[in-house]
A and B are shown apart, each in its own frame.
Chain A
Amino acid sequence: MMDKYSLLHKIGIYASLALFILFMLLPFVEMFVASLRPIDHLFSRPKLEVGETMGFVDFMSRFWSDKMSFQAYRDMWVTVPQLPRYIFNSVFIASAVTLLSMCFIVPAAYAYARFNFRGKTTSLTLFLAVNMFSGAVLLIPLYKLLRSYGLLNTYWAMIIPGVAFLIPTGIWLLKSFLEKIPYELEEAAFVDGASRLYTLRRVILPLAVPGLIVVGVAMFIGAYAQQFLFAITFNQNRDYMPLPAGIFEFIGYQTVLWNEMMAASLVGVLPVLLIFLFMQKHLISGLTSGAVKE
Chain B
Amino acid sequence: MKQFIELFKPKTKSQTTTMFAWALIAPAALVMFWIVLWPLYETFRLSFTNSNLGTLMGGADFVGWENYEKAIGGRKFPAIVTRTFYWMFLSVSFKMILGLIGATLLASNIRGRGIMRALVMPPWIVPIAIGCFGWVWLYNGHFGLLSNFVEMVGITDGPFSFLAYKQSAFYSAVVTDVWIGTPMVTLFFLAAMQGVPKDLYEAAYVDGASRWYRFRRITLPQIMPTIVSMALLSAIWTFNSFEIIWILTEGGPRGATTTLIIDTFKTAIFSYKFGAGATRAVLVVLILGVFSVIYLTVLGRLTKKYNYGGVQK
A residues apposed to B, CB below 8 Å:
1-3, 5, 10, 13-14, 16-17, 20-21, 23-28, 30-31, 34, 42-46, 53-56, 58-59, 62, 103-105, 107-108, 110-112, 115-120, 123, 126-127, 130-134, 136-145, 147-148, 160-161, 163-165, 167-168, 171, 196, 221, 224-229, 233, 243-245, 247-248, 251, 258, 261-262, 265, 268-269, 272-273, 276-277, 280, 284, 287-289, 291-294
Contacts and interface: CB of A to CB of B under 8 A. Distances in A.
A140 B201 CA distance: 53
Contacts of A126: 32
A144 B136 CA distance: 33
B125 A262 contact: no
Contacts of A165: 35-36
Interface in B120-151: 120-123, 125-131, 133-138, 140, 142-143, 145, 148-149, 151
B143 A244 contact: no
B47 to A, nearest CB: 10
A117 B18 CA distance: 5
A141 B183 contact: no
B277 A225 contact: no
B277 A140 contact: yes
Q: Chain A CB within 10 Å — which of B101, B142, B281, B285 has the most?
A: B281
Q: Chain A CB within 10 Å — which of B145, B157, B192 has the most?
A: B145
B269 A118 contact: no
Contacts of A142: 35, 39
Contacts of B98: 20
Interface string B266-298: 001100001001100100110011001000000
Contacts of B149: 59
B178 to A, nearest CB: 9
A141 B38 CA distance: 8
Contact of B133 (A261, A272, A280): A261
B123 to A, nearest CB: 6
B66 interface: no
Contact of A228 (B127, B140, B188): B127
Interface residues of B, number: 102
A229 B28 contact: no
Given A58-B152, A59-B148, A141-B42, A107 B25 contact: yes
Contacts of B243: 228-229
Contact of A137 (B51, B120, B121, B264): B264
A277 B122 CA distance: 10
Interface of B: 14, 17-18, 20-22, 24-25, 27-29, 31-32, 34-36, 38-40, 42-43, 46, 51, 56-57, 98, 101-102, 105-106, 108-110, 116-123, 125-131, 133-138, 140, 142-143, 145, 148-149, 151-152, 154, 157, 159, 179, 182-183, 187-188, 190-192, 194-195, 201-202, 205, 225-226, 233, 236-237, 240-243, 247, 261, 264-265, 268-269, 274, 277-278, 281, 284-285, 288-289, 292
Contacts of A20: 98, 101-102, 105, 120
Given A132-B236, A136-B242, A127 B134 contact: no
Nearest to A61: B148
A277 B32 CA distance: 32
B226 A21 contact: no
Contacts of B143: 42-45, 62
Given A3-B109, A112-B21, A273-B126, 17 more contacts: A10-B110, A24-B183, A27-B123, A108-B29, A115-B18, A119-B18, A140-B277, A141-B39, A233-B269, A248-B133, A248-B247, A272-B125, A273-B122, A276-B122, A276-B125, A288-B188, A294-B226
A268 to B, nearest CB: 6
Contact of A265 (B18, B119, B134, B261): B134
10 contacts: A24-B123, A27-B179, A115-B17, A132-B236, A133-B285, A144-B57, A167-B32, A226-B127, A269-B130, A272-B127
Nearest to A138: B39
Contact of B121 (A13, A42, A116, A276): A276
A127 B28 CA distance: 9
Nearest to B44: A141
B127 A137 contact: no
The 3 closest A-B pairs by CB, nearest first: A288-B191, A134-B240, A141-B42
B281 A269 contact: no
Contacts of B32: 126-127, 130, 164, 167-168
Given A164-B35, A288-B191, A228 B281 contact: no
B265 A139 contact: yes
A3 B211 CA distance: 10
B43 A141 contact: yes
A115 B18 CA distance: 8
B191 A117 contact: no
